[in-house]
Structure 1
Amino acid sequence: MERELLERLLVGEDETSFAALAALRSGASYVVWDGATSAESLARVYERRLRHTRRRGIETSGLERAVQLLGQHDRPVRLGQIRAADGVWVFMLFLTDDGSALVACTGVRRTDK
């Protein structure tokens, strides 16, 4: 996926998408993987991650919202990732299976940086 298209998909109203877009525009690396995965199964995985990050006090952005949006999405999603240039934040992107729209976005602050 071209960087410019990904930037257009991240233009939204939520703080996490805005932060991911800012990271991308500041030279972050990114990848969007081929293939799609069940949004329902990803909602369960990220619900566990939400509990884990809360227990450990790991800073996240938009994780609870992403879990909710994935749980409501009834089609497969494609995964992407943006890694901030300084390595402090990593954003996971959940796109429609054709890559034409953003379903959800979440970020986690890396504690080893």
Structure 2
Amino acid sequence: MDSDRERLAELLSVAPGEIAASAREAQVTGATFKLWPGASTASQFRSVFRRRQRNAFRAGRPSIGFAEGLRDLGAYEGVFLALGYVDDRPQGGYYFQLFLTPDRSRLVTCWGVKPSARAAEQVLDRHRPRGRGLERRSTADRDRLLAMLAPLCPAEIRRWWSPRWKRERRV
């Protein structure tokens, strides 16, 4: 696993652009990552990720490098691409989608997308205590989670998470 982490960090460090540098910084600081085995055709990726770009734009999800990345995918002359990701969303960062040559020797392109409000709500659900109320959780722990998720969550979700709002709702 450490050799994969080091290999990916090296690939991201030699790749040009700020997005690759941001992905490398996230990966080096402990963000989760995965390089998927196998490869798929570049044309499939172009089609799927054009649609994802439109959906992200419509949903108002912040992204970096999406247009440039799609342009790089269009200019790629190879037939196959390997896929990977670096996920820095739990720390308030981006989900970086990586496209590599099939032998994983070079990064073709990458971009980053922040989570939607729905995805942020799912993160809250994963961190929500099971079997006991948030009121019984320590204030420092609750504040840490809220601070981590504040840039990702609209006010309604933060209010839903708040124990004060739960008490008001019961009345």
TM-score (norm 2): 0.62
Percent of aligned pairs with the same residue?
34
TM-align CA RMSD: 1.5
Moved >3 Å (runs of 4+): none
Select the structure with the greater relative contact order (CA < 8 A; seq sep ≥ 6): 1
What SS is found at the alignment partner of 1:2? helix
Larger Cα-atom Rg: 2
The one-letter amino acid of 1:79's match is L
> Structure 2 matches for 1:23-102, cutoff 5 A?
23-75=26-78, 76-84=80-88, 85-86=90-91, 88-102=93-107
1:58 is matched by which residue type in structure 2? R
Distance in 1 between residues matched to 2:104 and 2:51, nearest whole Å: 25
| Counterpart in the other structure of 2:19 | 16
Gaps of 5+ in 2: 121-151, 153-171
Question: Structure 1 regions of 5+ residues with no counterpart?
Answer: none
Q: Greater helix share, 1 or 2? A: 2
Correspondence 1:7 to 2:12:
no
How many pairs are equivalent? 113
CA distance in 1, matches of 2:47, 2:67: 12
Name the counterpart of 2:113.
108
**TM-score of the aligned structures, taking structure 1 as reference length:** 0.91
Give CA-to-partner distance per residue, 1:51-88, whole Å, 9 cap, x none.
11112211011111111111121320100011115254
